Amino acid sequence: MQTIRLESGEWQFDESKRLGPKGGFGEVFLGHGSYGEVAVKRLLMSAGAAAHREMKIGETLASEHFQHVVPVLDYGRDANGDSYYLVMPVCDRSLQDLINEHGIVPWSEAKPIIIDIISGLQEVGNIVHRDLKPGNVLSLDGRWQIADFGIAKFVEDSTSLETLRQSLTPSYAAPEQWAGERPTGGTDVYALGCIIYSLLRGSPPFGGDIDDVREGHLHASPPSIEGIDSRLGGLLSVMLRKAQTTRPSLDRCKAQITATDVALPAAGPRASLAAAGQAVAQAAATDEAVRLAAKAAANEWKAIGDEGAKDFARLLENLSNAIISDAPIAQKGTRSVILGPAELKGDVPTRVERRTHPQRGRLPEGLWEVAAFSRVELRCTLVNRSYHDPSIYAFAVTLAFAKTPENDEFRWREVSFYKQFSSSMQAEPTAIMPNNDAFYVVFSNVTGSHAIAHGPYTVDAEDEGSFIERWTGLFAKAALGKLRPPQQLPLSRQFYD
C-alpha cells in the first residue's frame, strides 16, 4: 500500500489494484480513506514538470456539489512525494465499458446518457473539459457523470501544447486541438458528437491509424449514420463542424436530443422536411471540410515558400561573406557583391502558386513542384575581348525551392538553360523562371526550345559548401575579366576551372 497526503487528508492505495486502463493523463487505483473505498488517480506528471503548480481546478470542483460531475474528494500534490493526485468515489463502470459490451446502444438507452453528459457540461459553466470521451463518463448513483474535468487544462497550463496533444484521445479530439488552437465550449460539443457516434454505430466517426484519424478530424466529412432520424443526423453534422464557432450550443443540443423520441426515421411530409434539413446540414459540413482543407493546404504551401525564402537569404549571405572574407576589398551591397569588373547579385525570392493539373488536380508526372524561386546572375566587363565577344557577359541561373520526381524533398536547386537551336552562346547559360511554362517544358517529355545547360544541383544544407566553392570560383574568373561565353553547351567541367 502507498500512502499520500493531499489538501484534505491522507489516503492509501494499492498499485496492484488498477481501476480501468491507463489513460493519456494518468492511471487510477483502488484506495481507502475517510470516505471508505475511493478511486485515486495519479497524474502522469511530476511536480518538477508542472513547476510545482497548484491544482486550482481541483479546488474549484471540490467546493461544488454537482449532479452530473464525478465529485472531487481531494486533490493536489503529495506532500511526501513528487506526483499529483485526484481522489474520487469509486464508480460502477464507464461508458466505454458499456460500448464495449453492447457495441451499438439502442436509442432508448443512449438518449438519457447523452442528456446526462450535456447536463454535466452545463453544470460546470465555462470550464472546458478538453478530453471528453466515453472513458471519462462514469456511472455513479444511478446517473452518468463526467470525470476528469480540468486535467487537460492543468496539463496545458503546466507544460507544452505538444505534451497535451500527446495525452489527448485521438478519436475524440476536435480539429482545433489537432491544430494546437485554444479550445472552447465548442470543443466539448465536438467530442460529444463523437460520443454519440460511438453509441449509435459502435465506433467514433473517424478510424484507422493515427494519421487517418488526424486527417479525418481536420479535413474529412463524418460518415452518415444509416437509419436514424433526419433531425438527429442533421444535429450531428453541425456538432462535428470543423470550425468550433459554428457548432451548436449545449442548450440547442439538449433541446434537440430531448425532442427526439426515437432514433428511427419518421414518416410523412415532416419527415421529408427533416430529411431535407439533414441533407443541407451534411452538404454544409462537406463544403466546410473542403474549404478548411483548401485553407490548410494554402497555409502549408505558404509556410513552405516562407521557409525557402529564409533559407535563400541565408545562402546568399553566406556566399557574400565568403567572397568578402577572401577579398576584403570587394563591396557588399543588398543581395550583391562587386569586385572590379565582376558583380554577383541575387533577386528577392518569389513565391509560386501551387501548380496542378486542371483535370487530375495534381502535377503531371516528371515535373518539378516549385514553391519559391530566385535568379542569381554574375556579370562582368570583359577584358581583352575579341571582336565577336560582347563587352559585358552575364552568367545566370535559376534557383528553385522545389521537390522533383527523383527527390521528394523541398530543397534549393540550381539550374540554367540554353536555346537548343541557336548558333550564339553569348547570352547563355540563362535563367528561366518557374512562373514561365517554358521552365516546366524542359523537365517534361515534350521537346521545347530550351534544354538544361548547367545542373541541376542541390545547393542548400550539406551541399552548401559546393555551391559556395562553385560560385566563388566563377566570381574570381569574372573579377579577373576571364569569364567568357561558353564554347559548348551543356557546360563542361573546364568552364568552372
Name the band, by pLDDT with cuts 50, 70 and 90, for residue 358.
very low
Q: What is the pLDDT of residue 497?
A: 79
On the question of pLDDT at 399 being above 90, the answer is yes
Name the band, by pLDDT with cuts 50, 70 and 90, for residue 149.
confident
Report the 3 state secondary structure along 348-398: CCEECCCCCCCCCCCCCCCCCEEEEEEEEEEEEECCCCCCCCCCEEEEEEE
Neighbours of 159 (CB within 10 A): 17
More confident residue, 467 or 244: 467
278, 284 in Cβ contact below 8 A? Answer: no
H or E, element range at 29 = strand 26-33
Q: What is the pLDDT of residue 81?
A: 84
Q: What is the pLDDT of residue 359?
A: 39
The region of weakest confidence among 79-88, 159-168, 386-395, 469-478 is 159-168
The three cell numbers locating residue 143: 446517473
Neighbours of 102 (CB within 10 A): 13
Q: What is the pLDDT of residue 44?
A: 76
Q: What is the pLDDT of residue 144?
A: 97
Domains belonging to the chain, first-starting first, are: 2-266 (1.10.510.10), 312-496 (no CATH)
CA-based nearest residue to 475, from 334, 374, 331, 308: 331
Q: Mean per-residue pLDDT for 345-354?
A: 92
The region of weakest confidence among 142-151, 422-431, 432-441 is 422-431
Catalytic option among 131, 148, 188, 229: 131
On the question of pLDDT at 343 being above 50, the answer is yes
Helical segments of 240-374, H only: 250-259, 269-326
On the question of pLDDT at 329 being above 80, the answer is yes
CA-based nearest residue to 76, from 158, 178, 155, 7: 7
Q: What is the pLDDT of residue 487?
A: 85
On the question of pLDDT at 334 being above 70, the answer is yes
Q: How far apart are CA 113 and CA 73, in angstroms?
A: 24
Q: How far apart are CA 396 and CA 424, in angstroms?
A: 16
On the question of pLDDT at 422 being above 80, the answer is no
Q: How far apart are CA 369 and CA 312, in angstroms?
A: 17
Q: Mean per-residue pLDDT for 44-50?
A: 61
Catalytic-residue membership of 82: no
